[in-house]
Copies of this chain bind each other. A is one copy, B any other.
Amino acid sequence: MRANLMPDLDLAARLFAALRARTHDGVGITREAYGPGERIAHEIVLGEAATLGLEIATDHMGNRFLTLPGADRAAPKLVVGSHLDSVARGGNYDGAAGVVAGLAAVAGMVRAGFTPGRDVTVMAIRAEEAGSWFPVSYPGSRGALGRLAPGELEVRRRDSGRTLAEHMAEEGFDPEAARAGRASLTRERVAAFVELHIEQGPVLEAEGIPVGIVTGIPGSRRLRAARVLGRYDHSGATPRRYRHDAAIALAELAHRLDEEWARLDAQGRELVCTFCVLATTAEAGFTKIAGEARFELDVRSIERAHCDALFAALHRMVPEIEARRGVRFALGPETGSQPGLMDASLREGLARAARDLGIAHRLMPSGGGHDAAAFAAAGIPAGMIFVRNQNGSHNPDEDMRMEDFAQAAAVLQRWMAEASA
């Protein structure tokens, strides 16, 4: 029965081409969350779903559910998918690959005349790229799960300055339902969620493996608006003992924290520590000692304790540097998220699908955060498939080979067929 079950790669190629053509910004791909780019991506996906004859539904958040009905419509369904927004000037595959893979898998089922045992739904999720648009984690999936705090609807999009609720309403969705905690997905109605996504990192590429099965999604501790305050003075006329140099205080903190990370890394503790922004301000200039600097710090690990160890080091260093250098750190609010472990039996199911198809794969932690973490946090078994990709992600050079995508989509489809039985 399943010998001829294959993802529809023509459909996948057509979708990727349409997405690229219609959301290209001149440099890369821009699909603003609850904005024109994301709206266009949803339109493209809905068009293919309609052609395939899938059931189409939209929830209060604007998430789309594209369903191939199963034999037992009352059974808890399988949901696969990912997000359709992108960072500004990003690549074509981050997020979209998961939705396209789901549709390609379902289209292959339709073509093969395969009826799953239970409903199989491709979910196109809203607004995952928190770093670029709304400073809140996974509003689309968490809103679908009824787990968005009312205050989170009031966060403002970085570019427009308007709130998530305002943007949702403008696109025709229902922030009031989100405030009231409505859920379009529940533990009772969803048997499992699987997200296919490009790796975003270099591990699969470096190791020559096309597919990753994800063990977990890291939690994070983050400083997104931290500052160092010193005093602007003349760079020539101010002896060392009279300085309040914000730039060098920040350089010291960053370098010493990086050394702390190197120590933890050498002990085999998996975490990452990144000063994404580290900068004197526009006031800085030649012949001036920097009176201010700012930084954005991103610490992530599957093990919350590793994040805590690095932040403990940070909080030891800061007062010591302040006292010695005559500066003040204004760390600002800390944000972050809890780690999300992928479901063990789901992980095994995905690995078995890969083995059955003879596709090389490895287990690996995720580096980035993903909507799958929101499902795991809501108690729904969640899994992820990574596709090897090139040139990282969140940049216009992000790339992915279609043969790798085909293998990953095949793993997804095989798992869907098995798990829906």
Contacts and interface: CB of A to CB of B under 8 A. Distances in A.
A242 B277 contact: no
A224 interface: yes
A368 B284 CA distance: 17
Interface string A164-205: 000000000000000000000000000000000001111100
B201 A237 contact: yes
B290 A234 contact: no
B235 A287 contact: no
A236 B251 contact: no
Contacts of A254: 247-248, 251, 255
Interface string A141-176: 000000000000000000000000000000000000
Contacts of A201: 233-234, 236-239, 242
Interface string A298-330: 101000000000000000000000000000000
A99 interface: no
A275 B255 contact: no
Contacts of A368: 234, 236-237, 287
A216 interface: no
B236 A367 contact: yes
Contacts of A256: 255
Nearest to A241: B265
A246 to B, nearest CB: 9
Interface in A188-234: 199-203, 206, 218, 220, 222, 224, 231-234
A235 B278 contact: no
Interface in A23-72: none
Identical copies of this chain, number:
2
A272 B240 contact: yes
A203 B87 CA distance: 50
Contacts of A218: 236
B284 A367 contact: no
Contacts of A76: none
Contacts of A255: 248, 251-252, 254-256
A245 interface: yes
B276 A392 contact: no
Contacts of A338: none
B284 A237 contact: no
A115 interface: no
A272 B276 CA distance: 29
A332 interface: no
A285 B395 CA distance: 11
Instruction: Pick from A250, A251, A275, A287 the residue with the most CB of B within 10 Å.
Output: A287
A392 B234 contact: yes
A259 to B, nearest CB: 9
B236 A200 contact: yes
Contacts of A377: none
A369 interface: yes
Sorted from nearest, which 10 A-B pairs have the closest CB atoms? A237-B367, A201-B237, A279-B279, A251-B254, A235-B274, A200-B237, A236-B368, A236-B367, A131-B287, A131-B286
19 contacts: A131-B285, A131-B286, A201-B234, A222-B286, A231-B392, A235-B274, A238-B367, A239-B367, A247-B275, A247-B276, A250-B278, A252-B258, A275-B290, A276-B280, A277-B284, A277-B290, A278-B279, A286-B296, A287-B298
Given A252-B258, A276-B285, A286-B296, 19 more contacts: A201-B234, A224-B286, A236-B272, A236-B298, A236-B366, A236-B369, A237-B392, A240-B265, A250-B251, A251-B252, A251-B255, A251-B275, A251-B278, A252-B255, A275-B290, A276-B284, A277-B284, A279-B284, A288-B394
